[in-house]
Amino acid sequence: MSNSNDNRQRSILKSIARRAMTDRGLLPDFSADAISELNGIREVPATITGSVRDLRKLAWCSIDNDDSRDLDQLSVAIPMPADMTKILVAVADVDAVVKKGTALDGHAKQNTTSVYTAAIIFPMLPEKLSTGITSLNADADRYAIVVEMSIDKDGSLQASDIYQAVVRNQAKLAYNSLAAWLDGTGPMPQPISPISGLDRNIRLQYQVAQKLSTRRFANGALNFETIEARPVFDGDNISDLKAEKSNSAKHIIEEFMISANGVVARWLASRQFPSMRRVVRTPKRWDRIVELAAEKNYDLPQQADSRALDQFLLAEKKADPDRFPDLSLSIIKLLGSGEYVIEFPGEQASGHFGLAVKDYTHSTAPNRRFPDLVTQRLLKAALANGAVPYAQDELLGLAAHCTEQEDDAKKVERQVEKSAAAMLLQNKIGQQFDAIVTGASDKGVWVRLFQMPVEGKLVSGSEGLDVGHRLRVQLVSTDVNRGFIDFRRVK
């Protein structure tokens, strides 16, 4: 492997990403049939017909990652009497273009998600659709499914509705610049000023999101703060790993999407329709979470309790804010991953332990997640008083498949991220770092460095270590092609 100055680093990572996709049964390319279908699709102007509402004049805006082009949802706030606020979330009507059973649908069904790696994105749907025809782009009329929520001043949901509409994105906004403005540390983002009243509307959205958050945490939602690492390229070379954290703008979208997904799940149930729920069951390693708290002189009950856990997290965030992301990561690992399950009429699926919500589906990102597209088809069938578009066995199979493929997609993303980190660390062999244990199983022990958001395997000195333990490690080797970063414990 060449040194870190190799000008082919991006292309090497692309090759690693493609191989990882194939190895895990994910399709890196669209089939000839899918491309043929794509070539036959033309953008058709959205028109107002039947029960489709015309909501184009509302002050809709999109809030997403700085480099996102596949825009799935818009939001707007409407002030109501008695300090109530109506929040509307518009979700791109992807099913209007990508029909069940087509070759494009088959590709989406196989991968079930877009895969975002450091060097290349493998979109679930071709970019002509996901960043064009089915994206809620600025200054374009688009069909959408609208989730309407009336929120009281205490953050409680008083009423809700779901319907089809034509919408128009008035401003494409990015998380970081919008958050800086909301926090008073940066100027107003340029797309806001030309739209009359949009600045007040966004501030109202933020206020409502804070109320929703306060209520959700009071019900036992877990207060995490994690660090996501994104490789920074200087041309085609990796120059750094940038840590990304949550911020005020992300907070708006997180709260609105959680609320909207809950409305969708309950709305389908009220129509006697099945739904694909996203659940995180009671943590299997609660005993280790109790031990972690005890190491910090905090007593947690022996039975899993989300409210008690959140009180511990809040206390630690205040006591040691610099190390709180590392504690958050440890707890998240011990909680376990989420999964998709089907709730049929008359049944009751598990809730989402981390979010403190009982009814939760995925419905707000149909350009990039297949479960959301399935949910959209269920919604549209129910709105039309039609039959359920999927058989029971088909839905059960899809839930299991989506869980498995999402896990594989995350492994691809992590593998490429680790390959990128291995590139960055090649010239640091022998150096020592402070670290925290993030994983411990029969397969080995993994640690994350404090100085930079890099995770690797502890190949020596792992005896007696468990998730959350801190230690000093030395970098002993890197393998870019396999994404391996190996450390040994320094006594």
pLDDT value of position 221: 64
Residues, the chain = 491
In tens, the pLDDT along 314-333 reads 888 888 877 787 788 788 87
pLDDT value of position 270: 95
Pick out the chain residues at pLDDT < 50. Answer: 1-6
Amino acid identity of 403?
A: T
Cβ atoms of 324 and 225 closer than 8 Å = yes
Residue 384 makes CB contacts below 8 A (sequence gap 6+) with none
What is the 3-state secondary structure of the chain? CCCCCCCCHHHHHHHHHHHHHHHCCCCCCCCHHHHHHHHCCCCCCCCCCCCCEECCCCCCEEEECCCCCCCCEEEEEEECCCCCEEEEEEEECHHHCCCCCCHHHHHHHHHCECEECCCCEECCCCHHHHHHHCCCCECCEEEEEEEEEEECCCCCEEEEEEEEEEEEECEEEEHHHHHHHHCCCCCCCCCCCCCCCHHHHHHHHHHHHHHHHHHHHHCCCCCCCCCEEEEEEECCEEEEEEEECCCHHHHHHHHHHHHHHHHHHHHHHHCCCCEEEEEECCCCCHHHHHHHHHHCCCCCCCCCCHHHHHHHHHHHHHHCCCCHHHHHHHHHHHHCCCEEEEECCCCCCCCECCCCECCCECCCCCCCEHHHHHHHHHHHHHHCCCCCCCCHHHHHHHHHHHHHHHHHHHHHHHHHHHHHHHHHHHHHCCCEEEEEEEEEECCEEEEEECCCCCEEEEEECCCCCCCCCEEEEEEEEEECCCCEEEEEECC
Interior/surface letters 240-274, b for 16+ CB within 10 angstroms, e for the rest: ebeeeeeebbbbbbbbbbbbbbbbbbbbbbebebb
pLDDT value of position 3: 43
pLDDT value of position 4: 41
Tokens of 255: 């709260």
All domains in the chain, ordered by first residue:
9-280+337-420 (no CATH), 429-491 (2.40.50.140)
The pTM of this model reads 0.86
Which residues share a beta bridge with 429? none
